[in-house]
Amino acid sequence: MQLMPATAEELGVNNPFDIDQNVDGGSWYLRKMIDRFGGDIKLALAAYNAGPGTVERYKDNVPYLEKKHLLNRVLRFSGQFA
């Protein structure tokens, strides 16, 4: 999972290259974004990738192409396991 240094610190991740700390921290952060955006998975994933402030500013129109590709891939793969 990708954790920015400030986010890793906030989550108590001392070593983001330690797989256990990384997955635990990233999972907690995703849960935090899901809660923050009222269970809206699309907004939570966008916030995980682009930051919650960006999502609050732009809502569904976050102007980052990378975010759109990530969101589409995650949602497509999650449908395989639903």
Query: Tens digit of pLDDT for each residue in 38-62?
Result: 998 888 988 888 889 988 988 767 7
| pLDDT attached to residue 30 | 93
Which range of residues forms the domain containing residue 34? 5-81
Q: What is the pLDDT of residues 4-40, one digit of tens each?
A: 899 899 999 999 999 999 999 999 999 999 999 999 8
Structure tokens at 66: 């990378």
Q: Please tell me the total count of domains within the chain.
A: 1
pLDDT category of residue 67 using cuts at 50, 70 and 90: low
pLDDT at 46: 85
Which stretches within 12-64 are classed as H helix?
19-36, 41-50, 52-58
For CA atoms 66, 72, 77, 81, the dihedral sign is: positive
Q: Taking the CB of residue 65, how many other CB atoms lie within 10 A of it?
A: 8
pLDDT at 76 over 90: no
